[in-house]
């Protein structure tokens, strides 16, 4: 029958103490990566939905009753952003005259760009907050998503922009 000696039990505890933080850090990194990826998908869908809404003329509805078409598109994109984007300044909207004839018409474009900073929520921020891990940590990851679509219908008070936010 096998019996453990006192030194072997101590070795197991030491191995556990060394390996556990490394495994937890790996789990935290995987968790943050997954959450960051989910936020990226949400931003992409919000920009796409905002551009699609602008492409069909951005009709006013109860959720976004603003008079200005750009404000309605920003409102729609922010609503689709599931709370990630709360600042209208983070959403840029531009109408582009594709044929350079000086007026917007079906076939021209609308572009929507959303800027967002993802802040890791797990131990990746501990080194920034506490400073005890010896490396600077991650304070935020800047993400942006941009979509442009052809106009199907030109909304009232849409004005031509000189440059695309997607450039």
Average pLDDT over residues 73-86: 93
pLDDT of residue 124: 56
14-18, 61-65, 90-94, 121-125 — which is least confidently predicted?
121-125
**Conformational region of residue 114, where left means phi above 0, alpha means psi within -120 to 50, and beta covers everything else:** beta
> Considering the chain, what is the average pLDDT of its residues?
85
Q: Domain ranges in the chain?
A: 6-150
| Residue, of 3 and 70, whose pLDDT is higher | 70
pLDDT band at 145 (very low <50, low <70, confident <90, very high): very high
Residue 139 has pLDDT above 90, yes or no: no
The lowest-confidence range among 53-57, 67-71, 72-76, 127-131 is 127-131
């Amino acid at each position: 029958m096998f019996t453990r000696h006192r030194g072997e039990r101590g070795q197991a505890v030491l191995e556990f103490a060394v390996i556990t933080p490394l495994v937890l850090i790996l789990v935290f990194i995987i968790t943050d990566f997954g959450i960051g990826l989910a936020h990226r998908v949400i931003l992409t869908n919000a920009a796409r939905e905002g551009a699609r809404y602008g492409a069909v003329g951005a009709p006013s509805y109860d959720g976004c009753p603003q008079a200005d078409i750009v404000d309605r598109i920003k409102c729609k994109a922010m609503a689709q952003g599931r709370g990630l984007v709360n600042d209208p300044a983070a959403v840029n909207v531009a109408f582009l005259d594709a044929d350079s004839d000086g007026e917007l018409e079906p076939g021209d474009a609308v572009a929507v760009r959303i800027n967002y900073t993802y802040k890791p929520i797990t131990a990746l921020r501990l080194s920034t907050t506490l400073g005890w891990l010896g490396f600077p940590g991650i304070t935020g990851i800047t993400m942006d998503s941009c979509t442009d679509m052809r106009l199907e219908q030109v909304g009232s008070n849409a004005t031509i922009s000189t440059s695309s936010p997607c450039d």
